[in-house]
Amino acid sequence: MPRERESFGEAFVRVAVSTFGAPARRAAARQDKLRFALEQAQISMLPEAYVALTWLATVVVLGLGCVLVLAIFALGAASGSPPTAAVSAVMAVAPVMFAGITYVALQVYPDYHAGERRRQIDRDLPYAVNFIAAMSSAGVVPTVLLRDLARETTYGEVSKEIQWMIRDVDLLGIDLVSAITRAIARSPSLRFQEFMQGAKTTILSGGDLKVYFSSKAEQYMAENRRVQREFLEGLGVLAESYVTVVIAGPLFMLVMLSIMLVVGRSTGSSQTFLFLLIFLLLPMTHGVFSWVLKNMAPES
């Protein structure tokens, strides 16, 4: 069969590994947390490959930045209007700055993505446990129950965690208890770890999983209702603050400054403040309230 065409990402990783293979392997060996972060983020890449990818991306960004800066200098010299000393200094530092940003961003990306997965798991876990409890009460055995949950894309990252467990059971031949242990070790969500640890303890002690799943479903749904109620109360306070700080206050200032400009009693500072209010302060306050609202949203 003809080989499938290699994607750009795969080709980039292959070039990175072939270029920085040995030093990247030694560097990855000194980063103990990298493999764990890649597993939690479910990034299908070896640590040494990810280190090599980070290095090559940094070098590429640095090279492209240098080429772009040289091209701008060349165009300025050809047109007879070279950039000023201050602009030249900024342009000279820009490639290194962007290369550093690229390196730092790729370094923190596994931990950031693992944190995003944790929030999504914590958000969807109550509903997934409710599904498990309903299936268990119907007499479905645990392995079949987990396979059904793994196929349910509605539960997002929870289903992906279960898919890894099913992979361990079906492809690696690991028993269910050991698969649960591996899932507890690699999951970024403490809430998911606690739930699976309880299921493991129930199995080992010969307890009734049906009772355990039902009790956890009731617990999580009760917590979910409490968190939603607290979020709505906080949202009411935020809405009042938004109307006062972002709507009424700036609107009053806009009207007063506009009247002062019309009647000719304004100064240059008033006009400058008006422009700052319209083009800087208002967008910033809207952005801050959007960020606060996003972080206030409950995870479960």
What pLDDT band is residue 298 in, cutting at 50, 70 and 90?
low
> How far is it, in rounded angstroms, from Cα 44 to Cα 38?
7
Identity of the residue numbered 217: A
pLDDT tens string 192-202: 999 999 999 99
Give the HSE-up count for residue 26: Cα atoms under 13 Å, Cβ half-sphere: 3
Q: What is the pTM (predicted TM-score) of this model?
A: 0.74
- Using alpha carbons only, what angle is made at residue 87 by residues 85 and 91, rounded to the nearest 5 degrees? 115
CB atoms within 10 A of CB 54: 21
**pLDDT tens-digit series, residues 235-265:** 888 888 888 888 888 888 888 877 777 776 5
Please tell me the predicted confidence (pLDDT) of residue 299.
Answer: 55
The pLDDT, as a whole number, for residue 98 is 93
Task: Give the contacts of 112 (CB within 8 A, at least 6 positions apart).
Answer: none
pLDDT at 267 over 70: no
- Where do the H-state alpha helices sit in the chain? 8-30, 32-41, 47-79, 85-137, 142-151, 157-170, 176-186, 190-204, 209-242, 249-263, 268-276, 282-296
Separation between Cα atoms, residue 237 and residue 68, nearest integer Å: 49
What's the angle, vertex CA 285, arms to CA 284 and CA 287, rounded to 5?
Answer: 65
User: What confidence tens digit (pLDDT) does each residue in 3-55 have?
Assistant: 455 677 788 889 999 989 889 999 988 888 898 899 899 888 899 999 999 99
Q: Is the pLDDT of residue 142 over 70?
A: yes
Half-sphere exposure of 148 (CA within 13 A, CB side): 14
DSSP characters over 91-159:
HHHHHHHHHHHHHHHHHHHHHHHHHHHHHHHHHHHHHHHHHHHHHHHTT--HHHHHHHHHH-GGGTHHH
pLDDT tens sequence across 222-235 = 888 888 888 888 88
Length of the chain: 300
Residue 160 pLDDT: 92
What pLDDT is stored for residue 177 in this prediction?
Answer: 92
Q: What angle do CA 91, 92, 96 make, to 5 degrees?
A: 105
The tens digit of pLDDT for each residue in 157-191 reads 999 999 999 998 988 888 989 999 999 999 999 99
CA 19 to chain centre: 29
